[in-house]
Structure 1
Amino acid sequence: MLLTGIDFSSNHLTGKIPKEIELLFGLVLLNLSRNSLNGEIISNTGNLQSLEFLDLSRNHLSGKIPSSLSKIDRLAMLDLSNNDLDGKIPIGTQLESFDPVTYEGNPNLYGEPLNKKCQEETTEDQRPVAQVSDDNSIFLEALYMSMGIGFFTGFCGFIVSVLFISSYREPYSKFLNSLVIRIYLIKNSLYMARG
């Protein structure tokens, strides 16, 4: 509760943002900009209700902007620019009221106040369908391949057994002869019935 400000900007910090930051309820200023931080923004950042200044710009942060950020009423300055964030900017008066510069440099981010809303939402809706069709095509490819291998193995086993094992060869020839004779008789009887 006593810690009100953290400024670790312009260092060479790497790794993820520590989750313990969400427990610093008295935090007013958090500046981690111009580092090499990666991973996602902490999902419970919205618990920092005293936060007025949040700068996470110029890192390698990815994933979506946590919807809990829209719950911070006191947030006067926000900068999430130049990261790898994606998805829709959460709906909330605070986040939509910031200048678009706040979110620039995140090519896969869309929603208010950015102008990419409609086009990107259509793409976002189509993504799961594409993923499902990709999964289906992989499944079908594996299915056909296994069926082909199974057929080839069974056919080779059958041919080898008929050609090289004489005890199988004779009964198989008799079976084929009787099958051909039955087909011939059925065909003739049908022909006679029509004629």
Structure 2
Amino acid sequence: MRRYCLIGIKGIGKTTLIKTILEEIPSIDYLIGSQILRQLVGPRFDNFDYFPAEEKQKYREKAIEYMIKRQNETQKDILVDGHTTLYNPISNEPENVFTDLDCKFFTDLILYEVNALIVLERRKSDSIKKRILDLSIIKNELSFERENSENIAKKYGMQMHYLNEDFHNNLNIELIKILKGEMM
């Protein structure tokens, strides 16, 4: 069974993209990484970024354990939307958030990238979630997510896929092709 992780920086549109294709992929179990963490952490989740590194690591590992159990029960491929990196508000730098369990769990990484200006506009239009609106930080996040995900895929033998502006308005079609094994 495959275990896909659609990765990209916060506010890039991962969840929105996946919602456009859910009806086309009934054989794939879709999970949102942050929702799993929210359930595990409980009411303190809004302060998760400020937890000690060891505590964040523990919760991230529990999330993977949950996904392993769920896949064993459903016997379906899994698609998770998540991140290999996140911006750390304490250090003011992006940091790796993929645990060793993440690296061993996922078979495929699908990197979703768009222009930093598009990310900025999407973040500005999201009135519900507080996002970083500094263009230089967004560019740094995009660069670090790409570099980190490529390094992880290479080190752990994962299949690396790319979704970006080259696909224009066909991102949903290209994502379906990846998930159906029609595009490597």
Asked if Structure 1 and Structure 2 have the same fold, meaning a TM-score greater than 0.5 normalized by the shorter chain, the answer is: no
Which protein shows a greater Rg? 1
Higher RCO (CA-CA < 8 Å; seq separation 6+): 2
TM-score scaled by length of structure 1:
0.28
TM-score scaled by length of structure 2:
0.29
Task: Decide which structure has greater helix share.
Answer: 2
